[in-house]
Amino acid sequence: MNRFLSLDNSLQLLQNIQASSYPTTYNPEKHKITLLDESQLELLHFRLPITFPPPGAPTAGPVHYVILLVQSGNCAMGYFEDGENLHHKVFRSYMVRKKQGKSQIKHLKTKGKSRAGSRVRLGETIEFFENINERLQVYFEEYEIHRIAISCSKILIPYLYNSKVATPFDKHDERLYKIPKHMHTPIYEVLLDANKFLQKGELIYDEGQQALVDALLNKERGSGEI
């Protein structure tokens, strides 16, 4: 089961978890706390809002983060401070073969380079990722970034990190946070929707743990966002 929590109720739940006797583990890549029983078996998971620092980290000051959404030919990115979007940018590129609806990258993996249209699309792809990394570099030069929330398909990841314009972080950066949700074609509105999602807490648990969830929430049984 999945249960979404507001910021206030996420903070209350986090405090209740920390005050409980249950041992916990923290997964930085997923920004998620897992409650364990005495045998170290997993009881439930709590994905923290992105504006919450990792457990044990200093809490002074707002959390600064970048959201990066990339699909073939479309990118939306933005810089946020404590949930507020201060800057954003949307990129579009001619990367999709019109008749087949397949990205040039996927085509190259199966058919290789072909005619002029393919070369144009490949050139657009290279420029597309150079533009993305140039904007990322601006954010990282101007601001201290605490988290990097990213949604990018595996087939595009090498183009992001192998661009002639370097990405201002590597694929093993501890600040990276893979967005645990399918994102629609990246446009500004989708970027804002991703931010709203990331600002919510999320409880993930089996129905058999409902009594534990209710106790931790100090609420009677309910559903939906609290």
Nearest one of 166, 135, 159, 165 to 66, comparing CA atoms: 135
Domains and CATH numbers, the chain: 2-49+200-217 (3.30.310), 64-194 (3.30.420.40)
Residue 23, pLDDT score: 95
pLDDT value of residue 116: 46
CA-CA distance, 22 to 35, in Å (whole number)? 6
Please tell me the predicted confidence (pLDDT) of residue 61.
82
Note down pLDDT in tens along the chain; length 226 residues. Answer: 999 999 999 999 999 999 999 999 999 889 999 999 999 999 999 999 999 998 887 767 899 999 999 998 899 999 999 999 999 999 988 665 555 445 545 544 555 555 544 544 566 788 999 999 999 999 999 999 999 999 998 999 999 999 999 999 999 999 999 999 999 999 999 999 999 999 999 999 999 999 999 999 985 444 445 5
Write down the pLDDT at residue 96.
55
The whole model's pTM is what? 0.83
